[in-house]
Each structure stands twice: as C-alpha cells, then as structure tokens.
Structure 1
Amino acid sequence: MAKLNKARFSSLSAVLLCICGCATTPPSEDPVLLKLTELENRLVTIERVVNNQSLVSLQGQLDQLNVEMRELRGQIEVLQYEAQEAGKRQRTQYLDVDGRLQKLERGGLAAVSTGATPDADGSDKVAYEQAFELLKNTRYTEAKAALTEFATAYPDSTLADNASYWLGEAHYVTADYAAALAQFEKMIGDFPASSKVPDALLKVAYCQYELKQFDQARNTLNSVINTYPNTTPARLATQRLQQMQKEGR
C-alpha cells in the first residue's frame, strides 16, 4: 500500500512539474502567439497599402469628376445662351413682320423691301458662329484661337462682347483660371454696358475662388448680389457664398 501511494505521488509530481514548466514559458516565445502577431502585422500592412491605393483611386475619380463638371457647366451655359438668342431672334422676326404689316396697312408698299434684309453684321456673324460651334463641340483649343482672332478682326462688331465672354469661358472650362480671370475682367472693362457683364462678374468670382483668392471672391460675389439683384447670377453668387461659409472660407 505504501509503495502504491509512493508511485501515485511520483506520477502526480511529474505532471505538476510538466504543467509548471509549460506555464513558465515566456509569452513572447510562444510559437502560436508569435505566429498570430506576425499575421496581425501583415494584415495591418496590407490594409494600409489597400487604403492608400483606394485613396489614390478615389482622388483620381474626384479630379476626373471635377473636370467633367466644369465641361458640363460650360455646355449648359452654351445651351442657355442659344435658347436666349433663339428667343431674341423670334422676337425680332415678330417685330419685323408686324412693322411690315403696319406699313402695308398704311399703304406704304414702296417702303417694303422685296428681298430679305441683309445681315447687319455680315462676315463677323459667320466668324462668330464658327467659333461658337467649336466651343459647343468642346474643341476648346480651336475655340480659343477662333475667338481671339474674332476679337482682332471685328473689334467693333455687335457680337464682340459675346465673343469676349466666351473666350473667358473657354479658359475657365479648361481650368486655366488665371487666363479666364484676366479675360472676364477685360470683357467687363471693354463692354461695361453689355448684358453679359453680370455673368462675367460672377465668373470673375469663380476664378478668384479657384485661385484661392477667397477674400476677393467673397467681395465680388457680394458685388454681383448687390448690383444685379433678382437675377440668375445673383442667385448663383448667393449659393457660392453659402458654400464658402460651409467650407470655412
């Protein structure tokens, strides 16, 4: 019986020694823990690389989106201008027909022209429409050249103010904000009575914003609002001021 107890004691002691030996193995040397730590480190590295790649990809997409938005804004302005011009032409045609009818009613047949009234602008209108078509088709480099040539060839044309404005727009859409700013300011100085001045002044503010001239942009936007209240440029200026306030600029 004593021998049996002694054997049991010896076995128990061996087990305890084994357990104690395992328990005293430093955690840092545990192969499972080491492997887990290695995997965690690799995962962190991989996540960092993936995140960086995602940010680069996202930034690229944002840059492309900004370019497309600028082009879209330019195309919208072109369409709006065409709609306005179509309305003006319709009103002009109506007034012309109405005037001729009144002459006929008064018996003034001799005063009525038998042919179409010649275009008052002549070749300048053709040149302008060709340049405007280039702009409409997003052929901006060619449009810039054509509009610049128009300004040189037809400085006294009734379309000179429009050509000057669209030249600034061509610079703006292609993100050449310094050139656009100079052109819009020149247009305002050369044609202060033009109906395009409110739009040009708004674009001056937009260019100043893109060039990070935030104080000047804010002053110009307020000038648009105060000088041309209840107009589309004034509404857009208000929206940009609200945007700048949200951005803390």
Structure 2
Amino acid sequence: MSFSPAVQAQSSDVMNRLNRLENEIQTLNRAVYKGESLPPSAISGDPASNAATEVRLQQLEGELRDLRGKIEEQSYEIRQMSDKLERVTGDIEMRVNDLEGGRAVNNSTGGGSSPSSDYYDGGSSSNNAGVGNDDAFTWSSNPNDGGSANQQLGTLSSSGASSGDPAAAAYENAFSLLKNSNYEAAGKEFEAFIQAYPKNDLVGNAKYWLGETYYVRGEYETASRVFAEGYQQFPKGAKAADNLLKLGMSLGALGKTGDACVALGQLKKDFPAGASPVIRRADQEMSRLNCS
C-alpha cells in the first residue's frame, strides 16, 4: 500500500528527527552519568557545564516525547486510512464482479430487459433471495435469479413510467439518482417513496438503498440504524442478507466490533449458503474484525 509523497516525507522527517534526538540524548547521558567528554557539536554553550548539559538533556527528552506522540498519531491515521481503503477496495471488487456477472447472464439468456429493470434492482420473496440475487450496487451472483416474484418486481421497475404507475415511477427516479451517485437526493427520494407507498413490494429494497446512501457518505451511525430497521421489518425480504452485511460493516466502521460480529454472525446463521458473494464478504469482514 502506498501513501502520498507528502505523508511519506513527513514520516521520514519525523523519523530523522527522532533518530537525531536519540543519538544526542545518548551522548548527553554518557557525559552526565559516565563522565565521558562531549564532542563540540553535541550541545550549545560550554560543554564543561554540567548544569547546561542537564538543561539540554531535559529539553531533548521533552522533544523526544513530543515526537513519539506525533509518530503514534501518524500511525493511528495510517491504520485508519488502511482500513478505509480496504473497505472501499472490497466494495469496488464486489461491485465489478456483479457487473460482469450480470452481463454474462444477460448475454447467455439473450436478455432484452432495459437497464432500469431487474438487472439493477431485482428482488425475490424467497428466504435466500438476499444472498443469490442483487444488483450492480451490491453483491450479486445472478441478477436474473428469483423466479416469478423477481419478474414481477422487475416489470414494476421497468414499466412503471410508461404504465403511469406513480409508485414505480417514484422508485425509478430515486434509483436513477443513486446510479448517478447523487446520494443525498437519492436518500430523500427513497424516504419519500417509503412514506408514500408503505405497502408497496419495493419498500424493502428502498429501505436498503436508503441505508446505502448514508453508508457511501460515511454516515455510519444513521446507516446502521436504517440497515437494522430494514432487516427487522423485512427479515425474509430480498435485501435481508445485504442489510445484515452492511449493518455489520457500518458497526465495524464505528468501532463497535462486538455488535458488528453479532450482525455478521446472524447473517451466516440466516443465510448459510457459502457460495454467495454476500457470505464471502461477511467472512472477510469477520476475519478483519477478528470475530470469534
């Protein structure tokens, strides 16, 4: 992993200063406690003055403590950057795999569905739907899997605007904003959709994507709340597994490791299909968090 030249230069400068101070302190310690003579460049002032040497030694020890504090701060910042980069890299890899997998399935079946259909947001009412069926924004092994329920949701999403269905049109608008990375606006639209159409079949999906709009902006506290609500309200829904995964990841980002491990463990318990990309990602997170 590489960091910016500015960070590397700053770290190198701190280490050079630390090494210089340690060498100078060792020299002064030998002079004070062992009676060895000091080189002329070791300290300023009269090298024969033990009082001046003591003062200089205290100054150097103070500087050394400050430098060690800076090094600890930099080490912490680097660890935070590494963790964040690891999470982002994992998300990108999974999403790229989803896109490639979705194209492969569409090509093999001669798929003619529009980009706004179930390729982007399909769902199944089966218990395992959240594991094997998803879209371009999370972890999907087969976007077209899910049977008649999936076809129904895909039809609702793709034909809503042309059929005059206001619920489908509202959902499509929110999802379009999400695809265009307009996360704040997408979040507002998903919230409006949930409030306006609480009985619609796509509310479970909308709840998950609402949480995603907070997660990608680093608002992990709100994201964890929304993902938890999504799982509690739709424990058998199409996004149940995804809600648990992102709940665990959000809690992990907040430093709530124990709670994160509980959420990820619940995911493994509810959806034991080990071949799923969601399960694989959960395993990676549990390993990273050292879940027992």
TM-score normalized by structure 1? Answer: 0.58
Q: Distance in 1 between matches of 2:169 and 2:254?
A: 35
CA separation of 1:91/1:168 partners in 2, compared to 1, >3 Å: closer, same or farther? Answer: farther
Task: Identify unmatched segments of 5+ residues in structure 1.
Answer: 1-26, 97-116
* Counterpart position of 2:285: 240
| SS of alignment partner, residue 159 of structure 2 | coil
- Which residue of the other structure, out of 51, 63, 70, is the alignment partner of 1:34? 51
Give 1:168 deviation, angstroms. 0.9
Aligned to 1:161: 204
Aligned partners of 1:219 and 1:144: how far apart in 2? 27
In the TM superposition, residue 167 of structure 1 has moved relative to its aligned partner by: 0.8
Computing the radius of gyration from Cα coordinates, the structure with the larger value is 1
- The higher-RCO structure (CA 8 Å, 6+ apart) is 2
Deviations 1:11-31 (A, max 9, x none): xxxxxxxxxxxxxxxx8xx83
Q: Does 1:146 align with 2:189?
A: yes
Equivalent residues of 1:121, 1:158 under 8 A apart: no
Q: Aligned residue for 1:23?
A: none
Q: Say if 1:205 and 1:220, in contact at 8 Å, map to a contact too.
A: yes
Whether the aligned pair in 1 keeps the contact of 2:187 and 2:210 (CA below 8 Å) is: yes
**CA–CA separation in structure 1 for the residues paired with 2:84 and 2:205:** 24
Instruction: State how far apart, in whole Å, the 1-side matches of 2:200 and 2:99 are.
Output: 19
Distance 2:200 2:96 in 1: 22
Matched pairs, number: 200
Amino acid aligned to 1:121: G
The counterpart of 2:63, out of the listed 46, 57, 62, is 46
The residue aligned with 2:159 is 120
Provide the C-alpha distance between the structure 2 equivalents of 1:65 and 1:130, rounded to a whole number of angstroms. 35
Q: Aligned-pair distance for 1:45?
A: 1.9
Is 1:180 the counterpart of 2:223? The answer is: yes
CA offset at residue 158 of structure 1?
4.9
Equivalent position of 2:263 in the other structure: 220
* Kept after mapping to 1: 8 A contact 2:220/2:250: yes
* Greater share of helix: 1
Distance in 1, matches of 2:269 and 2:86, equals 28
1:68 and 1:243 map into 2 onto residues whose CA distance is 13
8 Å contact 1:144–1:167 — kept in the other structure?
Answer: yes
